[in-house]
Every structure is written in C-alpha cells, then in structure tokens.
Structure 1
C-alpha cells in the first residue's frame, strides 16, 4: 500500500531507524529533505533573505556616496598645489 508522505522531526541523537506511518502503521523508509538544512535565523539565511529583498525593495538614498580623497601622510605633499 502506498501512503502519502509525512514529516517527523527528531534531535540528531534520537533519530529512530524507522517510524510508523500515520495512515497504515507500517514502518516507513527514512528520506532526507533539503528544507531543514539551514536553520531559520542563521547568518546564511539572513544573508539570503536580505539579498532577495534588494531585488524587490532597493534601499532609498538621498544622494550618491561621496568620493573619498586619498589621505597622504607625507609632509612634502602639503607643499603641492591643490586641484
């Protein structure tokens, strides 16, 4: 008999070898899914969410960023004319 799929979550140390099917109570085979590999709130998840948001909700700025002039520590450069 082919029953539908179902999800169970266990701590890593307590994963049973087989679990009973909720429909027919027969032992089911264990399959791994990719959805629970990244835990919510992890840095990788936050980065993926922020990257996705920039496509639909770009940040609003009032002006382009200013170009920073390179700062020199050489005292001889003080005598040069400024542009």
Structure 2
C-alpha cells in the first residue's frame, strides 16, 4: 500500500492509502467533498534504517563532489611478507 497526497483548496493536504498504481488523478475531499487534485511528492525514504540512509547520502554526495586523491598510494615494502600462520600440517613442506 502506498500513501498518496491530494490538495484540497479549502482543507489543505489530504492523504489517501491505496494499492500502488491505483491512485486516480483527483479524489473528493473527505471533509468538504470538493474535488482535490493529486500532488506529486518525494517518496518517504526517511523511514529507512541509518545504514541505508547513509549509503544514499554518500551516493548523492559523490555525484557532484567526488573524492579527490592528492597522491598515489605508497608501494609495498620489498622483502617484507606477512607473517604466515603456523599450521602443523604444512610444517614439512619446502619453503621458497
């Protein structure tokens, strides 16, 4: 179900809940009965969880303000390898 907003000239905004895609262009105002045209509004994204909202905000910001890199990343140091995990099953294998 979706909430559609209509604007009555006398009573102001009127919210109507209907299945998605079934909203008419105008409805009768429940208070005064006058014809109220539909108002196109933004979807209610504010009800999403914080993780989704921060993702949407980062995506929107990167459209017009992309992150700029000022230098190349440093090269890995030669001769240094990450410490291997000691596993008794592989202790007798030849080492490079």
Of Structure 1 and Structure 2, which has the larger fraction of its residues in strand? 2
Please say whether Structure 1 and Structure 2 have the same fold, judged by a TM-score greater than 0.5: no
Q: Greater RCO between the two (CA within 8 Å, min separation 6)?
A: 2
TM-score (norm. length: structure 2): 0.37
TM-score for the superposition, normalised by structure 1: 0.41
